[in-house]
């Protein structure tokens, strides 16, 4: 069947479901606006970080950026759902936690900041916040990771992320598109961040996106891109020398292993270097099985080249590090690519300075 026919069939089947889904989410939001569903407001500030689409906008790196920028002023707790964890209810992160206990994203944040902040997971964000406040009364800022749709909590500040390559105004509702709620829901955001901007984006490109976002003057807009650090070993005790991507050449080979929401920028970055590249993409938050790892081992062994390595993402690394099935013989050859958020200065105030000012303004009005 031609590609156009497949696209038409998909649209015919899924678009009606998208309209039904959109109607349900709009009605739910209206029930919160009417007060039929109760929102809980807390005595300490809550920042909700989220998006309108499902995955792939870079929430966790932006949460880490916020934590790094605000921890000198606040005692911070980060609360997330703990997606795809094997536990239920409220769970605090400890040095003994694994991704199965708290989810890979919470695990990544905890091991990046250690005991400098508090990390917890809970499906019920209201109950989770109440537990955090009772456990440590000194907490004076809570960041909700992926909390924009969890409307039972009324945040003091809402930050919404949207991908430069697929902004919400070009997307469709689930299941035909990737939107979890209507683009009109952006009106609840205080700050909008367009993420994963290309390095060669020009001021005119930012102006065009800003126009299409159609925000109100009170909403703050920022643009960010992904920054890449040097490769790091997952199993550091097994590696003597960590290669850099720039020192590898056409005689070397890389196997990319990825299980994140949107691997395209990561794959594109790795492919921008000289080595030959093969790609193994798995679903977001993928729990690697023994069979998966056997497949990865076979693909790695089939690589040709003077030097052969496996490169994965930071989020995948935390799951592979704790995976009991990971082949011992691959440990010296697998590395992860650390990423960071870099904001593109299109405003006189930095992102963190803006958040601090907004928090101060809102707190003074309470």
Q: Give per-residue pLDDT as tens, 38-94.
A: 999 999 999 999 999 998 889 999 999 999 999 999 999 999 999 889 999 999 999
**Ranges 11-15, 115-119, 218-222: which has the least confidence:** 11-15
Q: CA-to-CA distance for 252 and 243, rounded, in angstroms?
A: 11
- Assign 239 a pLDDT band (cuts: 50, 70, 90): confident
- Structurally, at CATH architecture level, domain 38-228+342-365 sits in 3-Layer(aba) Sandwich (3.40)
- Measured over the CA atoms of residue 29, residue 31, residue 32 and residue 34, the dihedral's sign is positive
Q: List, for residues 267-299, the tens digit of each pLDDT value.
A: 999 999 999 999 999 998 899 999 999 999 999
Q: List, for residues 195-211, the tens digit of each pLDDT value.
A: 999 999 999 999 999 99
Q: Is the pLDDT of residue 237 over 90?
A: no
Return the SS3 of 28: helix
CATH class of the 232-337 domain in this structure:
alpha beta
- Whole-Å CA distances, 273 to 210, 246, 249, 267: 32, 7, 8, 11
Question: Can you give the pTM of this predicted structure?
Answer: 0.92
Q: Which residues make beta-bridge pairs with 76?
A: 141
| Two tokens, residue 228 | 């890449």
Q: CA-to-CA distance for 206 and 363, rounded, in angstroms?
A: 31
Among the listed residues 276, 310, 273, 268, the one whose alpha carbon sits nearest the alpha carbon of residue 293: 310
Domains 38-228+342-365 and 232-337 alike in fold: yes
Q: CA-to-CA distance for 112 and 105, rounded, in angstroms?
A: 11
Q: CA-to-CA distance for 263 and 347, rounded, in angstroms?
A: 29
Domain regions of the chain by residue span: 38-228+342-365, 232-337
Q: Determine contact, residues 193/222, Cβ cutoff 8 Å.
A: yes
List, in order, residues 6 or more apart from 253 with CB less than 8 Å away.
275, 276, 277, 278, 303, 304, 305, 307, 308, 309
Q: List, for residues 124-169, the tens digit of each pLDDT value.
A: 999 999 999 999 999 999 999 999 999 999 999 999 999 999 999 9
**Ranges 5-19, 84-98, 138-152, 308-322: which has the least confidence:** 5-19
């Amino acid at each position: 069947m031609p590609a156009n026919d497949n696209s038409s069939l998909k649209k015919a089947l899924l678009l009606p479901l998208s309209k039904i889904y959109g109607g349900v989410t709009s009605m739910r939001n209206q029930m919160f606006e009417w007060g039929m569903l109760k929102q809980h407001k807390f005595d300490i500030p809550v920042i909700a970080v989220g998006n309108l689409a499902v995955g792939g906008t870079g929430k966790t790196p932006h949460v880490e950026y916020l934590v790094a920028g605000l921890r000198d002023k606040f005692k911070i707790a980060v609360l997330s759902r703990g997606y795809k964890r094997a536990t239920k209810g409220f769970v605090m992160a400890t040095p003994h936690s694994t991704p199965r206990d708290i989810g890979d994203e919470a695990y990544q944040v905890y091991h990046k900041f250690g005991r400098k902040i508090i990390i917890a997971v809970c499906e019920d964000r209201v109950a989770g916040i109440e537990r955090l406040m009772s456990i440590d009364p000194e907490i004076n800022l809570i960041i909700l990771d992926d909390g924009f749709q969890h409307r039972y909590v009324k945040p003091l500040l809402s930050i919404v992320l949207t991908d430069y390559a697929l902004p919400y105004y070009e997307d469709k509702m689930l299941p035909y598109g990737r939107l979890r709620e209507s683009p009109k829901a952006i009106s609840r955001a205080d700050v909008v961040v367009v993420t994963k901007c290309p390095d060669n984006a020009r001021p005119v490109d930012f102006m065009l996106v800003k126009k299409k976002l159609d925000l109100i003057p009170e909403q703050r807009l920022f643009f960010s891109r992904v920054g890449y650090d040097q490769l790091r070993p997952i199993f550091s005790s097994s590696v003597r020398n960590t290669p850099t991507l720039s020192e590898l050449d056409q005689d070397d080979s890389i196997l990319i292993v990825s299980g994140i929401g949107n691997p395209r920028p990561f794959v594109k970055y790795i492919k921008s270097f000289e080595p030959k590249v093969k790609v193994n993409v798995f679903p977001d938050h993928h729990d690697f099985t023994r069979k998966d790892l056997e497949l990865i081992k076979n693909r790695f062994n089939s690589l040709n080249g003077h030097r052969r390595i496996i490169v994965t993402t930071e989020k995948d690394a935390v799951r592979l590090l704790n995976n009991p099935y990971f082949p011992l013989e691959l440990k010296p050859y697998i590395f992860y690519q650390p990423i960071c958020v870099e904001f593109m200065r299109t405003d006189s105030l930095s992102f963190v300075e803006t958040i601090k000012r907004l928090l101060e303004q809102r707190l003074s009005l309470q």
